[in-house]
Amino acid sequence: MSTLQNKMFQEIEDKEIFKQTQQFSLDYLENIFNRNVFPTEEAIDDLSKFDEEFPINSSDAKNVIAQLHKYGNPATTATLGGRYFGFVCGSALPVGLAAKSLGTFWDQSPSMNVLSPIGNKLETVVEKWFIELFNLPKNSSAGFVSGTSIANLCGLVAARYRILKNNNWDVNLKGLMGAPKIRIVTGKQAHSTVLKAIGMLGLGQENIEWVPVDDQGRIIPELIPKLDENTILILQAGNVNSGAFDDFESIYEKAKDANAWIHIDGAFGLWAGAVEKLKHLTKGMEKATSWAVDGHKTLNTPYDSGIILCADKEAMIAALQMSGSYIIESKERDSMFYTPEMSRRSRVIELWAILKYLGKEGVDEMVLTMHERAKLFAKELNKIPGFYIDNDVVFNQVIVRCNTDDLTERVLKKIQELRDCWLGGSAWQNKKVMRVSICSWATTEDDIHLSIASFKKALELKLM
């Protein structure tokens, strides 16, 4: 046995680095809900401690973990807390963090059932739960990926396969050179990840047939061009700025006779379909062909967790297929047929744990509470002269601005500097705005009031 092997076996035997890590993790959780939301300048400056030449010799494991804790901990953004409102990141439920930690030690890769029976079993169970939760067609399939960026890619690659196959063109064998034309129809405020997927798939962003949207960013159904069986129609469940939802029901009535493929980008908004008081927002979504949704946003799974759901299982498997003489297929689920990756961690472990923990009623309560916090945020901010709410708060997004673009940007910067809460900026209806995304289970009414006070203070400081 080599010296290094002996050293590592000893680390497993004495378990000191794991006890050390557990204590550091618990210390982090104990303080994360009350500390500054964004790292201090000192914490960011201290990241220079990681700038070093690649070591020649092996280091002490405890010192490695201690360095991460000492200089990494203070430089994290408090996305786990209740006052981070940027980028629709979501927090993480305690049971999810615990399950992910357990899964880390299991170190499972569920590409084949023979590699991880537990990983494939949990994916089979969660797939069934999603179909029930969102009332999707019973034969739908689910792939567990890193996020909606990849989920959108998977949905569109399945659509590409099906449309070309229906035209007697096997894209897996023939490629795209000389292939029948595929039409892409979507709204003018489609998310950038959708455009990225279209480009990556060789469908060409210049070929997109853009549909005008209303003042909330929703596709105007009457302006959708005539569709056909060679069309991929891409809709939104949750505009990235306003949180608005396309009118799936009326759009489906326009598309059904054309036999077009309908894909819904529902990164954070699809979860409204699981809430009794909000599911009117997603009425008709079950009539689409594919759906992309994140776990790490509204459901608050730890990063990273995305799901592609598809009603055309054959197209999904064919589009994402792989083979090899060493592959061992089973009679159970082999997850490599449902995602682009073969080597990936079993992220379904924490996804299953959270769904099991919450149940339908818990999902309903948690997501509805996020909506109620967003409504409260808008209501309280409306009371402060100088702030304006520029969207209908139908889900979890609040668009805020001041009297001028310059003032909006300066107030936003000051809010970020105060570090009581954190949010980002955007552009909406040709104006600079602040974008508030309420997507943490931990956001309380006190968090809202503290954040509102920070907004007010920032405005006052900039008007002085």
Whole-angstrom distance, CA of residue 434 vs CA of residue 20: 40
Whole-angstrom distance, CA of residue 335 vs CA of residue 124: 9
Token pair in block for residue 348: 């379904």
Whole-angstrom distance, CA of residue 246 vs CA of residue 254: 13
Specify the pLDDT at position 462.
82
Please report the sign of the dihedral spanned by the C-alpha atoms of residue 154, residue 156, residue 158, residue 161: negative
Q: What contacts 357, CB < 8 A, 6 or more positions away?
A: 93, 95
Instruction: Write the DSSP assignment of 75-97 as a string of letters.
Output: GS--TTSS-B-STT-----HHHH
Specify the pLDDT at position 257.
87
Specify the pLDDT at position 36.
96
Specify the pLDDT at position 152.
98
CA distances from 464 to 27, 362, 402, 452, 461 (A): 40, 46, 15, 19, 5
Q: What is the pLDDT along the chain (464 residues), one digit of tens a residue?
A: 899 999 999 999 999 999 999 999 999 999 999 999 999 999 999 999 999 999 999 999 999 999 999 999 999 999 999 999 999 999 999 999 999 999 999 999 999 999 999 999 999 999 999 999 999 999 999 999 999 999 999 999 999 999 999 999 999 999 999 999 999 999 999 999 999 999 999 999 999 999 999 999 999 999 999 999 999 999 999 999 999 999 999 999 888 889 999 999 999 999 999 999 999 999 999 999 999 999 999 999 999 999 999 999 999 999 998 777 777 888 889 888 999 999 999 999 999 999 999 999 999 999 999 999 999 999 999 999 999 999 999 999 999 999 999 999 999 999 999 999 999 999 999 999 999 999 999 999 999 999 999 999 999 998 87
Beta-bridge partner residues of 236:
265
| Pure H helices in 339-404 | 348-382
Whole-angstrom distance, CA of residue 92 vs CA of residue 350: 10
Q: What contacts 187, CB < 8 A, 6 or more positions away?
A: 210, 211, 212, 213, 217, 218, 219, 234, 235, 236, 246
Specify the pLDDT at position 328.
82
Q: DSSP state, 220?
A: -
- The backbone region for 137, taken as left when phi is positive above 0, alpha when psi lies in -120 to 50, beta otherwise, is beta
| Pure H helices in 167-284 | 171-174, 192-200, 248-255
Specify the pLDDT at position 360.
98
pTM of the model: 0.96
Token pair in block for residue 424: 């980002």
CATH placement of domain 367-463: 3.90.1150.10
Specify the pLDDT at position 331.
86
Do 387 and 400 touch, CB atoms closer than 8 A?
Answer: yes
Specify the pLDDT at position 1.
82
How buried is residue 5: exposed, middle or buried, by Cβ count under 10 Å (0-12/13-18/19+)? Answer: exposed
Beta-bridge partner residues of 186:
210, 234
Token pair in block for residue 365: 């309560």
* Distance, CA of 102 to chain centre: 22
3-class DSSP assignment, residue 432: strand
Specify the pLDDT at position 323.
75
Token pair in block for residue 98: 């615990």
Beta strands in 404-460 (DSSP E): 424-428, 431-437
Instruction: Write the DSSP assignment of 48-61 as a string of letters.
Output: GGG--PPPSSPPPH
CATH fit for domain 99-355, picks 3.90.920.20, 3.40.640.10, 2.30.30.90, 3.40.50.720:
3.40.640.10
| Pure H helices in 383-444 | 405-418
Whole-angstrom distance, CA of residue 422 vs CA of residue 78: 9
- Least Cα distance to 397 among 432, 424, 365 occurs for 424
Whole-angstrom distance, CA of residue 96 vs CA of residue 441: 12
